[in-house]
Structure 1
Amino acid sequence: MLVVDDGLLIREGIRQVLVAAGCDVVAVAGDVAEMMETLTRESDVDAVVLDIRMPPTHTDEGLKALEDLRASGSHLGVVLLSMYGSPTLAIRATAAGAGTGYLLKDRVTDADMLVRAVRTVMGGGTVVDPEVVAQLVSPAHPRSDLRRLTDREREVLRLMAEGSSNLGIAGRLVLSPKTVESHVAAIMTKLRIESVREEHRRVLAVLRLLRASE
């Protein structure tokens, strides 16, 4: 795993949290150029925890780095960290494809959430910060297909967006895995998401949720 942040204390803090949770942090980097050099040199990096705002402009260098990785064909798991719960940034991150997470930097102190996010993206899943999801899981948006969903289906979609597997959703909502599968199938049908590979369908569903705020 690789930790990328231009702030030394934050970078070290993230590294310590991950190491304490049993993750193998093979390197750290202070900017995108150093990150790319490290990825070229270290063949055993399977995930990156990356700040969105990096030198030189401190705007969206981390997002651009993610997009460049995906454009090059990389399926490396990437968790982006942001100071702000921006649906727009979350949409850009999620649109890059599977294996991507978007978390608020405040979550760094929540070791369980950070590690779950890292493991989810390593497995090709998608994670969006609960605070961002909470803003969006609502039937109130007049143009949103979410109005077709039942309360339970919106709850299942919320947990999908946070990176939970069907089994994890079943445990959280005290439902059988079969029932969760039925809810997921209904969500895909109501949001008109075609049957493609499962991880891509989940990404599309999360994107539909995020774009409901536009």
Structure 2
Amino acid sequence: MRVVIAEDQVLLRAGLARLLTDAGMEVVGEAGDAPDLIRKVAAHRPDVAIVDVQMPPDQTDDGLRAAIAIRRDHPETGVLVLSQFSDERYALDLIGDDATGVGYLLKDRVADLDAFADAVARVAGGGSALDPEIVALMVGRRRKDDPLDALSPRERDVLTLMAEGKSNQGIADALNVTVTAVEKHVTRIFTKLQLGHEPSEHRRVLAVLALLKAS
């Protein structure tokens, strides 16, 4: 798996590179600012780009804007954004109308090395990885004409964990239920959200998108 890292803090960038290399990934490019990130992705065509939200030249949301541009111009490259902020607006702007190959995690999650490496691999493979704090903010809102109103509390729990990128086994472990029970909940979620005519993995992505659009 080929990775480009964009982070202006040199020590953190070096730490991410070491972590990913130890996890068996190939770091093919490193960038310290948003324009260089765009160049490195165009040159190396990585499987995934890991991007800090705040980067030079403006030190505002340059990294986020570069990540959105990469999703538009290089759809074959997954994008995982790291942020210090629990701001769902950033996540929604990043995801747009396509929840494939995208992730938004708080930087604190990097401390769990195995989980972070798993999130990178999942995004590179076309899945999603959203920070639990961001998902909780989205699910916690009460909205008019919410498409999720048809879901039971347990089905909402399952959809929330799907949005975080967990597999059926991971959901079963988190909820202390069987994988069979999770599969039944997932099937009901697909049915209630009218996602019955797509391959299973694509329906998972569409279900996550339904969660985000309800925010």
Bin of the TM-score, shorter chain as denominator length: 0.7 to 0.9
Q: CA RMSD in A?
A: 2.4
**Aligned partner of 2:20 among 18, 21, 32:** 18
Unaligned runs of 5+ in 1: none
| Contact 2:37/2:66 (8 A) holds in 1 | no
Q: State the partner residue of 1:66.
A: 67
CA separation of 1:27 and 1:133: change in aligned 2, threshold 3 A: same
CA separation of 1:193 and 1:57: change in aligned 2, threshold 3 A: farther
Q: Secondary structure at the match of 1:54?
A: coil
Tell me how far apart the structure 2 counterparts of residues 186 and 168 of structure 1 sit (CA, whole Å). Answer: 18
CA offset at residue 197 of structure 1? 4.3
| Contact 1:94/1:126 (8 A) holds in 2 | no
Q: Does 1:125 align with 2:164?
A: no
CA offset at residue 158 of structure 1? 1.2
Q: State the partner residue of 1:83.
A: 84
Matches within 5 A, 1:191-210: 191-193=193-195, 195-210=197-212
Tell me how far apart the structure 2 counterparts of residues 156 and 60 of structure 1 sit (CA, whole Å). Answer: 32
Q: Secondary structure at the match of 2:81?
A: strand
Identity %: 42
Q: Which amino acid aligns with 2:72?
A: A
Tell me how far apart the structure 2 counterparts of residues 59 and 196 of structure 1 sit (CA, whole Å). Answer: 39
Tell me how far apart the structure 2 counterparts of residues 82 and 144 of structure 1 sit (CA, whole Å). Answer: 28
Q: State the partner residue of 1:47.
A: 48
Tell me how far apart the structure 2 counterparts of residues 174 and 198 of structure 1 sit (CA, whole Å). Answer: 23
Q: How many residues align?
A: 212
CA offset at residue 142 of structure 1? 4.6
Matches within 5 A, 1:1-214: 1-42=3-44, 45-95=46-96, 97=98, 98-138=100-140, 140-193=142-195, 195-213=197-215
Q: Secondary structure at the match of 1:26?
A: strand
| Contact 1:117/1:163 (8 A) holds in 2 | yes
Q: Which amino acid aligns with 2:58?
A: T
Q: Secondary structure at the match of 1:27?
A: strand
- 1:54-105 deviation per Cα after TM superposition (whole angstroms, max 9, x unaligned): 2222333223223322322522121101111111111122226200000011
| Contact 2:53/2:64 (8 A) holds in 1 | yes
Q: Which amino acid aligns with 2:30?
A: V
Q: Which amino acid aligns with 1:171?
A: D
Q: Which amino acid aligns with 2:111?
A: T
- 1:174-212 deviation per Cα after TM superposition (whole angstroms, max 9, x unaligned): 444333222112112323446334444323322332343
Q: Which amino acid aligns with 2:71?
A: R
After superposing the two structures, state which structure 1 stretch, 189-198 or 58-67, moved more: 189-198
Tell me how far apart the structure 2 counterparts of residues 136 and 202 of structure 1 sit (CA, whole Å). Answer: 17
Q: Secondary structure at the match of 2:27?
A: coil
